Chain A
């Protein structure tokens, strides 16, 4: 077999941000469904949380390709 363990490591580390993104949007959808007028308040928070979680996933992606 050929390949690099870096990608296995990246696969494992991507689980965390995936769950985080799911939780963030689940909470956002829940909040908007309960109180539609709170959308404008929740939207920036949800996007920032998504950006923070996603940044970690992309961090792992870059490092998986760069580290030797």
Chain B
């Protein structure tokens, strides 16, 4: 979407990052609460950040 528009790209990058962190971080948080551990949250956050940066590269980075 709107690949040539820079303002739009910046806003959608923000959106992808937020949702990636929320979804995978949320899954990690839920697993932590369920299994009484405290490392799934960090793993989930890193996974989410990595996945959303990969998604951003797919959408905006490759030519």
Contacts and interface: CB of A to CB of B under 8 A. Distances in A.
Interface in B24-48: 25, 29, 41, 45
Contacts of A50: 10, 13
Contact of B21 (A43, A47, A62): A62
A48 B18 contact: no
Given A44-B62, A50-B13, A59 B41 contact: no
B53 A52 contact: yes
Given A47-B56, A48-B56, A55-B52, A62 B61 contact: no
Contacts of B52: 51, 55
B45 A47 contact: no
Interface of A: 40, 43-44, 47-48, 50-52, 54-55, 58-59, 62-63, 66
Given A51-B13, A66-B25, 13 more contacts: A43-B6, A44-B60, A47-B9, A47-B10, A48-B53, A48-B57, A48-B60, A51-B53, A55-B17, A59-B21, A62-B45, A63-B45, A66-B29
